[in-house]
Structure 1
Amino acid sequence: MTAIHTPSEAEVDGAAARLYADDRESLGYVASHTRVMALNPDAVAAFEQLIRSVVPSLGMRRYELVTLAAAGALGSTACRAHHGLKALGFIDADELERIARDYRTAGLPPEEVAMMAFAERLSGDFAAMTQADAAKLQRLGFSDREIVDIAFAAAARNFYSRSLHALGVEPDIPPALPMSLRDALLAGMATRET
């Protein structure tokens, strides 16, 4: 567990209590990352507003694909698992399992493969990125707004995952995540753990 003291459900109020309640409603428990991040609910709200601002141009499916690619490159167990569960609302379980194992061979359209590769590169080797990375997305039909939002979505995952890692948050795996999908999500990522 983290060195940060996280309050119990009985100890939180206001915006932090709403974050706990949202987890309890959607997951059946309060996730370890929520307990830590809820210490600054204003930052969580700002992060969520950023995500709400990028989703309209990408759609939820593509947002989750970008998130899974970024989290995988970062080796973020918590983010891969939680977004794997969220992605089930937008991606068929069999397809998602193939994507989790290796998005390059999962039968995705070329533009989605390129989008995920962009997010993966931004999350791993961002200093080596050039205009050619964005130009490839343009050639595949992405608008400038979509490319900016892909970058924002991947960078936002870096912010969240890296914050969890820096704070020593122990990842938890949602019990509702099917075992075969969990295995695929965790096998198809870098070895670092957040």
Structure 2
Amino acid sequence: MAIIHTPEPDEVTGDAAALYADDLADLGYVPPHTRVMADNPAAVAAFVDLIRASRRTMDLRRYELVTLAAAQAIGSQACRLAHGRKALTAISEAELVRIARDFHDAGLSDAEVAMMEFAQKLSRDSASMTDADSLRLRELGFSDQEIVDIALAAAARNYYSRALHALAVPVDVPPDLSVELRDALLTGT
């Protein structure tokens, strides 16, 4: 467990209690990432607002594809698992398993693949990005607003995932994920 003290659900108060309550209602428990990040509920609220703003041109499917690609690129198992679970509301489990194994060979549209490649490159080596990266998205029909939002969503995933890494937050495996999906999200196999 991270060295950050994380109160139990019956001990938490204020805005942090609301974060715990949301997870208790959704998951039936409070995962480690919520416990640690609830130490600064204002930062969590700001992050949620950033995500909401960056999704202005994206449906849930596109947002989750960008998030999964960014999380994979930086090795964030916690975010791959959490967003794999969330993606199930927009993507079938069978398709999500294929995407998690290799999104290039999952039957996605050229636009979806390019969007995920963009998120991965941003996450691995943003300093190497050029106009060509954005032009590829434009060629596939993305508007300027959509390109900005893809970049913001991927960058926001980097922010949150890297904070979890820095604080040594244990990876939570949602118990309602199938073994096949869990393994695909964790290892790509």
Instruction: Please state which band the TM-score falls in when normalised by the shorter chain.
Output: over 0.9
TM-score, with length taken from structure 1: 0.95
Q: Does 1:40 align with 2:20?
A: no
- Number of residues paired by the alignment? 189
CA distance in 2 between counterparts of 1:177 and 1:70 reads 20
User: After superposition, where does 1:56-135 map in structure 2 within 5 Å?
Assistant: 56-135=56-135
CA distance in 2 between counterparts of 1:26 and 1:104 reads 31
The match for 1:181 is: 181
The match for 1:22 is: 22
The match for 1:192 is: none
Q: Is the 8 A contact 2:76 2:161 kept in 1?
A: yes
How many angstroms does 1:3 deviate by?
Answer: 1.0
The match for 1:148 is: 148
TM-score, with length taken from structure 2: 0.98
CA distance in 2 between counterparts of 1:64 and 1:48 reads 14
How many angstroms does 1:19 deviate by?
Answer: 0.5
- Superimposed CA distance per residue, residues 17-43 of structure 1 (whole angstroms, 9 cap, x where no aligned partner): 010011111111101000000000000
Amino acid at match of 1:33: H
Moved over 3 A (4+): none
CA distance in 1 between counterparts of 2:31 and 2:15 reads 16
Amino acid at match of 1:18: A
3-state SS of paired residue (1:56): coil
- Superimposed CA distance per residue, residues 88-123 of structure 1 (whole angstroms, 9 cap, x where no aligned partner): 000011011100000001000000000000001111
The match for 1:162 is: 162
Further displaced range: 158-167 or 48-57: 48-57
Q: Is the 8 A contact 2:56 2:149 kept in 1?
A: no
How many angstroms does 1:6 deviate by?
Answer: 1.0
Structure 1: 5+ residue runs without aligned partners?
A: 190-194
Q: Is the 8 A contact 1:72 1:188 kept in 2?
A: no
Identity of aligned pairs, percent? 63
3-state SS of paired residue (1:6): coil
Q: Is the 8 A contact 2:70 2:157 kept in 1?
A: yes
Q: Is the 8 A contact 1:97 1:181 kept in 2?
A: yes
The match for 1:7 is: 7
Q: Is the 8 A contact 2:66 2:154 kept in 1?
A: yes
- Superimposed CA distance per residue, residues 34-68 of structure 1 (whole angstroms, 9 cap, x where no aligned partner): 00000000000000011111223011100000000
Q: Is the 8 A contact 1:69 1:117 kept in 2?
A: yes
